[in-house]
Structure 1
């Protein structure tokens, strides 16, 4: 998004695909779709292949985040070496904290009301208090908590990825100031990208290590940062670029469907991140102007709509799914009723995220930025 608030619709489309994969993944975990007409038509193996690897959708989010943060910072401050640290952190606080605090308030109130889905649990056999869960959420080590104790709180578990992102961005402006030159930053991020698969390889016996750890995920953000720097130097346009994008999309689709992420994560996460980076390079506009509406875009407008609200969707979709699970527990739902709940889940998640964005997070984002910049 540029300074005028315009959006790149192709990037929103990529982001929309990512969030829809995550939503479908989480719904299938709660309500296995193996006994639905969907599984009967396409086969359970095919449905499961689409549903099981939602974490690759998060990998795509990481790349998009790194790409947009880096490209926007370079444009806003006329170069990465001139990043205003105070203003950078103010913008992150204004964007992240309103939704995070609202999510915590909802979950804490629901838990106090005795709704079991929103209470803390002990999947690893050790109990964790809400004080610790709230602290981990606010100080960005929910991924560490999950690695140690399991998915201790159902709707707050999504904050593991926010923890990864925000720890990366705590260092981002400081690195820009210290290293200054884009060539040095590029070299540093390439090192981080190389560490990712090595870290995942050495933690294959630990899901918390290869899925949720900082260095297991930093490579996706770093690859996005590198892509943003490269985007200023060359353009992916023309017929050959269209062919390249087709090959990349086919490769990403094959990787996504081929095996569970637990079997492919070492190089699979890197490959998915690199593929996303190529698509972002093709979508990037140096003038940051939205593309003209064209025939290819019209059928995908709905997906891009989800992409524009991906942050709110990601944070609040498990609130909706948790509420559905409270009213209709998975143990009592069978057959095609699951598909009705799936449709309800997507509709309610879309309504909630749009409402939060329009009436809460976006107005507060603007007000907080103005206030923090004025202090």
Structure 2
């Protein structure tokens, strides 16, 4: 059963990413959203730290993968390797193939956002970029060469998650019989990530953000949360108060400073806050969304993967018609709602008519025959 509050978190996460990426080419500081608050424009405060949305995605991913594995098999040591990989392939690969196909077609028309660039003066072939996309090291390609392909750059985070997906069931089989050993590994990853980010603090290549070890702590925190939830007995006191306090602290951290300036500890702390929310939400997982706002956020959250992969297709097409440096403030305000609407429509169509049907067919064919 889906936990609607986790879908709401997903919805919030993807909205943070969407506004962050819109504000990069079409900066909103010269619109009415540029009102000054504590020396910064409101648009900057809202948009600059959208990468915290990805941090929440990592925590949610680690939590759900671990929780579903525990629910299906009873213990991590009983995980079925083939079934696990089939489920991940069924969910991830169809959209990845479609994204690469769309970018390739649009790039064949010479549209700049969909062809490779050399931001650091290093030419990277399109073939190598595609290879990196399907072999899950797009993040390393970006660290070494810059954001070489605008529309495919979002695959850096998918590379992080896919390496986690590849390693997770193997680690479960190796360490799952002794949950303490698995927990110790998770704690080691959580402890190492801030140190790794400190080694790359403020680096222009973005290693403090894009590298595997810059992101694995969020996933590990999510995994650990699922184990805690499984072993927690009883009822959590003052749950609503905890949710309120943690939410306020997350907002304060989000507005406090650019993520680049606090990456060493900020990413881990934000991930920990997200995990506390998930733990609280798991105490009443059977509840359903009732308000229009929560239902809307659930709808967005359930399509967040499609929105994440394909939103730069929409922005890239915008950039072809509306050159960012020449776009007037009024035009930016016009483009912003259109951007969201088009992303929602495109993602809904892909989810309804492509990714979900393919996901279902792949699982039904291969998991049934392998069971």
- After TM superposition, the score normalised by the length of structure 1 is 0.94
After TM superposition, the structure 1 = structure 2 runs for residues 203-352 of structure 1, keeping only pairs within 5 Å, are: 203-206=200-203, 207-234=205-232, 240-285=238-283, 289=286, 291-294=287-290, 297-352=291-346
Q: Distance in 2 between matches of 1:339 and 1:237?
A: 46
What is the CA-CA distance between 1:140 and the residue it aligns to?
0.3
Q: Distance in 2 between matches of 1:318 and 1:292?
A: 32
Q: Contact (CA 8 Å) 2:289, 2:295: kept in 1 or not?
A: no
**What SS does the corresponding residue of 1:30 show, helix, strand or coil?**
coil
Residue in 1 aligned with 2:141?
Answer: 145
CA deviation profile, 1:170-229 (whole Å, cap 9, x unmatched): 110011011123222111111111111010011114242201010010000000000000
After TM superposition, the structure 1 = structure 2 runs for residues 66-215 of structure 1, keeping only pairs within 5 Å, are: 66-180=62-176, 181-206=178-203, 207-215=205-213
Residue in 1 aligned with 2:363?
Answer: 369
**What SS does the corresponding residue of 1:282 show, helix, strand or coil?**
helix
Q: Contact (CA 8 Å) 1:261, 1:268: kept in 2 or not?
A: yes
> Where does the alignment leave 5 or more consecutive residues of structure 2 unmatched?
none
What is the CA-CA distance between 1:27 and the residue it aligns to?
0.1
What is the CA-CA distance between 1:46 and the residue it aligns to?
2.3
Q: Provide the aligned length of Structure 1 versus Structure 2.
A: 366
Partner residue of 1:17 out of 12, 20, 32: 12
1:237 and 1:331, CA in 2 relative to 1: closer, same or farther beyond 3 A? farther
Q: Contact (CA 8 Å) 2:194, 2:264: kept in 1 or not?
A: yes
CA deviation profile, 1:56-79 (whole Å, cap 9, x unmatched): 110010000000000001111121
1:236 and 1:125, CA in 2 relative to 1: closer, same or farther beyond 3 A? farther
Partner residue of 2:23 out of 18, 22, 28: 28
Q: Distance in 2 between matches of 1:131 and 1:150?
A: 16
Q: Contact (CA 8 Å) 1:190, 1:222: kept in 2 or not?
A: yes
Residue in 2 aligned with 1:57?
Answer: 53
| 1:359 counterpart = 2:361 | no
What is the CA-CA distance between 1:329 and the residue it aligns to?
1.6
Q: Distance in 2 between matches of 1:75 and 1:222?
A: 18
Q: Distance in 2 between matches of 1:90 and 1:292?
A: 29
- For the aligned residue pairs, the C-alpha RMSD in angstroms reads 1.6
Q: Contact (CA 8 Å) 1:117, 1:154: kept in 2 or not?
A: yes
1:44 and 1:337, CA in 2 relative to 1: closer, same or farther beyond 3 A? farther
What is the CA-CA distance between 1:234 and the residue it aligns to?
2.0
Q: Contact (CA 8 Å) 2:311, 2:343: kept in 1 or not?
A: yes
Q: Distance in 2 between matches of 1:255 and 1:98?
A: 36
Residue in 1 aligned with 2:42?
Answer: 46
What is the CA-CA distance between 1:44 and the residue it aligns to?
5.4
- After TM superposition, the score normalised by the length of structure 2 is 0.95
Q: Contact (CA 8 Å) 2:202, 2:261: kept in 1 or not?
A: no
Q: Contact (CA 8 Å) 1:35, 1:336: kept in 2 or not?
A: no
What is the CA-CA distance between 1:129 and the residue it aligns to?
0.7
Q: Distance in 2 between matches of 1:254 and 1:73?
A: 34
